[in-house]
Amino acid sequence: MFKRCISTKKSLVFASLIFCIITVLILELKVLNFPKNSDLNFNRLHGQINLNESVKNREYSTKYLHSRNLIVIYNRIPKTGSTSFINVAYDLCKKNSFNVIHLNITKNSHFLSLADQARFVYNITSWNEKKPALYHGHVGFINFQVFGATVPIFINILRKPLDRLVSYYYFLRYGDNYRPNLIRKKHGNKVTFDECVKEKRPDCHPDNMWLQIPFLCGQSAFCWIPGNEWALQEAKKNLVEKYLLVGITEDITSFISVLETVLPEFFKGASEHFASSLKKHLRKTNKKIEPSEETVTEIKSSPIWQMENELYEFAAQQFHFIKNQMKMNENGTLLDKGIHFKFEKIYPK
């Protein structure tokens, strides 16, 4: 009985070996008889693969685009042109077959408890019926990696810090043209920004500029401490490593054009749509008085402004670097330059 078992095992090993050899031979034959592809030119002599014009100019198919089931998170910063931008997404979502979902946080808090972060991460990554999706809301950056989840695509827009503060100051008093009949919490307060700074009131304190840094920094307690140097460096690091694209309010048109090139699943046709409906999408504060030179000088002497401005300049430099890799047509719209790479030195085994 024991000898028969040994013999049976040897037979199984031998059969497995034969099966493996046959499988390898079949695969080798398939490689040798690889069918010619009209879209690829194989240069076996030099070991190169060149992509011809038909590949360069081919548009992604809708089937391929949506097979990726992408999740994009736009953790929008107040008064940076976020409403103007997100309205473009709302206009295009049906046409481009994706979902736009607003994240509304209780008491307008910009950060979440650890448990809420976990719930949020789980819910949006497992909600397959709503993919592809663009989520937006006033919330600091959330690190999906610490929860072991699939990392979504993050995008954002920054604005010059003093311009953002002044805009928000008057927005709370006079509202904007997006919801002209909505009464804001400072309605009736006619104190100008200059007067506020001169009288050192809390509404215009430089600490109120500390917002763009923590939004890119994240959910750590240190991100939300005004003037924290670590928070600034973390925001810069996240901007480069965690965000696909961070645009600037002053050039929101180019921001949309770049996104249309990189994420056509969501933003195909966005540049033309935004240009043709510019008045509809641009949101403006109903009344805003530009600060005096004396006020500007005082605000810019603040370490908070200097740090926020450092982040803005850092973001602008990175954005212009990306923008300059594209080409501009006669209408001033940014376009993809096309494929400028090839695979070289591919040798057979």
**Residues with a known catalytic role:** 136, 138
For residues 80, 86, 91, 93, the Cα torsion angle rounded to the nearest 10 degrees is 160
CA 227 to chain centre: 25
Alpha carbons 107 and 52: distance in angstroms, whole number: 55
User: What is the full DSSP assignment across 14-29?
Assistant: HHHHHHHHHHHHHHHH
- The tokens 């904007």 sit on which residue? 176
3-state secondary structure 190-234: CCCHHHHHHCCCHHHCHHHHCCHHHHHHCCCHHHHCCCCHHHHHH
Cα separation of 220 and 302, whole Å?
A: 24
Work out the number of other CB atoms within 10 angstroms of the CB of residue 244.
15
Q: Quote the DSSP letter at residue 74.
A: E
Do residues 205 and 98 lie in contact, with contact meaning Cβ atoms separated by under 8 Å?
Answer: no
Among candidate residues 52, 31, 55, 30, the one with its CA nearest the CA of residue 43: 52
Residue type, 292: S
3-state SS string for 28-52: HHHHHCCCCCCCEEEECCCCEEEEC
- What is the rounded distance in angstroms from the CA atom of residue 158 to the CA atom of residue 164? 9
Alpha-carbon span 244 to 239, nearest angstrom: 8
Rounded to whole angstroms, how far apart are CA atoms 238 and 243?
7
